[in-house]
Amino acid sequence: MKSRILYQKNIMFLFFVSGSFLTGCIIKSPSITFTQTQTSSEKQMIGEDRILEKDGWLISSVKTSSAGSEVWRKDFSGDNYAEGDKDILMSLKVLAYLAPEVKTWKEEGFLAEGLDGKLRINPAAGYLTKKEAKSRIDSLVALVNEHRGKVIAFRSESGSKTNAKEKSEHLRTHLEQTWYRLVEKGEYYEKSPGKWVRKE
């Protein structure tokens, strides 16, 4: 009985002592900041990657990312740009955002670069068993080619204002070949019309 009373007194003493030390302490919750980092969790959150789990959350207490969320927020506002420039910036940002996923599918051999500068589904690749993966690749190819087309059209239009028609056509061809020239080792590309090979 005495030990129990002594135990209770010790507990009460510790409670009051710890309470006096913690008086005036403020518990502040961390701020939540969305960044432009291209993680799988963020793709999952915004619904850009249907292959991942459907129910996913990303909670972060990081105030700035390595890319600098303050700079990103300022860049993304687009207040300093004309309407046409905003469109081209959005297309470039979409292409940059999708680049890691495109690279992954290229490394797996499902995507390839065509001679016309468009992203294509590799005819030499194996058959995709998952319906979701097939639909994701189809939508990815369509989206990438749409934004590549916008970038090429914008650049060739701005070039045609100052150059002759012949130079403008050369510029357009050069821009279309940009992605074709960036094919890395191990990725597929169209060597000649209808012939798809892996770069060695």
* Same structural domain, 64 and 97: no
Task: Give first-to-last CA distance, the chain, whole Å.
Answer: 83
The whole-model pTM stands at 0.53
Q: Which residues of the chain have pLDDT under 70?
A: 20-22, 24-25, 27, 30-84, 126-129, 158-168
90 and 102 inside one domain? yes
Q: Is 190 in the same domain as 101?
A: yes
Residue 5 lies in a domain: no
- CB-count burial class (<10 Å; 0-12, 13-18, 19+) for 190: buried
Residue 191 located in a structural domain: yes
Q: What is the pLDDT of residue 82?
A: 60
Identify whether residues 39 and 99 lie together within a single domain: no
| Residue numbers of the domain that contains 57 | 28-77
pLDDT at 44: 57
Assess whether 93 and 32 both reside in one domain.
no
* 1 lies in some domain: no
Looking at residue 116, its pLDDT comes to 81
Residues 134 and 63 in one domain: no
Q: Say if CB 128 and CB 113 are below 8 A apart.
A: no
Q: Would you state the pLDDT for residue 45?
A: 57
Angstrom distance (rounded) from CA 102 to CA 106? 6
pLDDT at residue 69 in the model: 46
Does the residue 32 lie in any domain?
A: yes
Number of domains in the chain: 2
Write down the pLDDT at residue 143: 92
Is there a domain that residue 16 lies in? no
- List, in order, residues 6 or more apart from 35 with CB less than 8 Å away: 60, 62, 64, 65, 67, 69, 72
